[in-house]
Amino acid sequence: MNLDRTLEKLASSLLRECPELKGDDRTSEARQKLVDEFEEFNVDSISHEYLKKIRRSKVDYERFAWTHLVKNYEHAHFKQAKMQFFLKKAKAEKMRGEEHYVVHRLMSRYYELKIEERTLASRRSLSHLGKEYTAYLKVNEKPPKDLETLVINAANRSGMDPLTGAVSQWVYIGQGPAEIRGGNKYRVIAYAPFATGKTLAYRWVVYKGGQIGLWKIETLEAAVQKMERENLVALQPPVAALVPEVKKKSVAGGKSTELAQKKSKPVTKSKLKITIRELW
């Protein structure tokens, strides 16, 4: 059974709520463009038996698949008018069976597309950071001391968490002197402050040159802690260099320089003979 009428009604409702989507097109043209876009997701047809089932049944707004999708939309903080329209319609819970079927399918597909767009944009930004690092080394022959020195444009220092939309600065760890290297032997330059992956158990890292890697969170944390300990050791002055200063301070901190000289002056052989005769 065809759902063209349902798609047209949904497109008209979307244009009324978000007139900016019409652009310079006439209303009928803009509506048809939206319908064509909806049909690309293969939600325009359904079996006769299933259509009868959803028309006779009351929409179950407590179903896990539906509540999970709505929560994902809320968590993602989409700013696009189309995404906000779908979330508002979903939370109103005033849809008939076939409309709910279409909206559910469309929301799922749009969610996947927007998350993928955010993911690609963030990965490109992180990869660019690794390439900038390589270019900086060629010119300066030493790693930059911080992210601000490496990347002049502030917009390129941050990435977006695809699942939440939160923008945060990449964690820069390429200043040294200690290093973290991956299985590819390239130096790790920075990593994402947010988790990724289906179980959110991983984080992106970028290597020198711009290649992106995926590290387990516990593995990355252990490597960073080890690097920080090695940095502390490397920045401490050598122990041998402290010894002369300690001796000098101990002498200067005595009762007097003259007394110290008297104590350190060796006993001569003549003085020793006089002492023995007197005792005799």
The string of pLDDT tens digits covering residues 74-100 is 999 999 999 999 999 999 999 999 999
Q: Give yes or no: residues 24 and 104 share one domain.
A: yes
Residue 222 has pLDDT above 80, yes or no: yes
Average confidence (pLDDT) over 207-233: 95
Q: Give yes or no: residues 9 and 98 share one domain.
A: yes
Q: Give yes or no: residues 265 and 202 share one domain.
A: no
Q: At which of 115, 145, 167 does a domain end?
A: 115
Look at residue 142 in the predicted model and tell me its pLDDT: 93
Which residues are bridge partners to 160 per DSSP? 167
Q: Give yes or no: residues 109 and 40 share one domain.
A: yes
How much is the mean pLDDT over the chain?
87
What count of Cα atoms within 13 Å lies in the side-chain half-sphere of residue 161? 17
Burial class of 207 by CB neighbour count within 10 A (0 to 12, 13 to 18, 19+): buried
Counted domains in the chain: 3
231: Cβ contacts below 8 Å, ≥ 6 apart = 176, 177, 178
Q: At which of 115, 150, 182 does a domain end?
A: 115
Look at residue 8 in the predicted model and tell me its pLDDT: 95
3-class secondary-structure state, position 215? strand
Q: What is the DSSP letter of 276?
A: H
Q: Give yes or no: residues 217 and 141 share one domain.
A: yes
What count of Cα atoms within 13 Å lies in the side-chain half-sphere of residue 107? 27
Nearest residue to 83 (alpha-carbon basis) of 59, 117, 40: 117
Confidence of residue 198 (pLDDT cuts 50, 70, 90): confident
Which of the residue ranges 62-66, 139-143, 267-271 would you say has the lowest mean pLDDT?
Answer: 267-271
Q: What are phi and psi of 252, to 5 degrees?
A: -65, -25
Average confidence (pLDDT) over 122-130: 97
Q: What percent of the chain has pLDDT over 90?
A: 72
How far is the C-alpha of 188 from the C-alpha of 15, rounded, in Å?
Answer: 47
How far is the C-alpha of 259 from the C-alpha of 265, rounded, in Å?
Answer: 10
Q: What letter represents residue 277's amino acid?
A: R
Q: What letter represents residue 240's amino acid?
A: A
Q: Give yes or no: residues 173 and 103 share one domain.
A: no
Look at residue 235 in the predicted model and tell me its pLDDT: 77
Count the helix, strand and coil residues of the chain and give each as a percent rounded to the nearest 5. 60, 10, 30
Q: Which domain holds residue 11?
A: 4-115
How far is the C-alpha of 230 from the C-alpha of 146, rounded, in Å?
Answer: 18
Q: What letter represents residue 268's amino acid?
A: T
Residue predicted with more confidence, 237 or 234: 234
Q: Give yes or no: residues 12 and 69 share one domain.
A: yes
